[in-house]
Amino acid sequence: MQFDSRIEAVAVCRTPYKQKFGIPRQPGLVDFVRGYVELVPPYNHIDAVRGLEQYSHLWLLFCFHENLAQGWKTTVRPPRLGGNEKLGVFATRSTFRPNGIGQSVVKLHAVQQQKGKVVLEISGMDLLDGTPIIDIKPYIPFSDAIPDAVGGIAQQAPEQVNVSFTAAADAQIANISAQYPGLKQLIIAVLAQDPRPAYKKAKDDPKRYQVALYDLDIFWYATPSGIEVVELQPAPSQRQEKSCDADA
């Protein structure tokens, strides 16, 4: 079966999530963080989104652009099953798919024009910063919401773990709170989902983990009582820029 495969991005999504590790596993799990969908030429025209503001939510169709080179397999090991059981790729929302296409429902807050760009302000996204958006569609409640739908292995939201902070980490967050409003809340929401691979969760795990949010690296450990955040550092690019500034 042949079709026109000339699919290109109509927009790019800007989010705090700078790496795949730590991104919410489904849309809506972290619903208070704002992101932005920036339309790109030739779709960057206000007429292309005329009337969109009457909808509260949108469907974003996007490309898993960082996974394409790794290909796909007929079966995957869903984290919900502990990473030990296999399901068919089409029975999961695995990011490794034949055409690398994903979809997410997000909340729409505003349609804006900023310095010649058309920008949609959204929340509830589960997308990597820089994700190419290949289509935008309005969410239609009477047809898209099915109250008695059966969700298979994902009928309920995932359980969350406790997230704590060392005194040093709390002090670091307090020092930059004006620059990053709601940072502690975001860290808790992301890490409460325990982004580690499923096989790591069933045994003692002394590894020091890192997750990137905004331009910060957040360092943490898994403990018997949950997750403990121990340190925040500027991301490597930010550290390099500060070093250059100091040399100037």
163-247, what's its fold? YaeB-like fold (3.30.2310)
The predicted pLDDT at position 112 comes to 94
The predicted pLDDT at position 232 comes to 96
**What is the C-alpha to C-alpha distance for residues 4 and 136, in angstroms, rounded to an integer?**
19
Domain 11-152: CATH superfamily is YaeB-like (2.40.30.70)
For the chain, the structural domain boundaries read: 11-152, 163-247
**What is the C-alpha to C-alpha distance for residues 246 and 229, in angstroms, rounded to an integer?**
29
Whether the pLDDT of residue 241 is over 70: the answer is: no
Residues in contact with 192: Cβ distance below 8 Å, sequence separation at least 6, in sequence order: 160, 161, 162, 163, 227
CA distances from 160 to 7, 145, 163 (A): 38, 25, 9
pLDDT single digits (tens) 138-197: 999 999 998 888 988 777 777 889 999 999 999 999 999 999 999 999 999 999 988 887
What pTM does this model have?
0.84
**What is the C-alpha to C-alpha distance for residues 190 and 25, in angstroms, rounded to an integer?**
10
| Burial class for 222, CB neighbours closer than 10 Å (0-12, 13-18, 19+) | buried
pLDDT single digits (tens) 116-144: 899 999 999 999 999 999 999 999 999 99
The predicted pLDDT at position 243 comes to 32
Whether the pLDDT of residue 239 is over 50: the answer is: no
The predicted pLDDT at position 202 comes to 66
Query: What tokens were used for 118?
Result: 């058309």
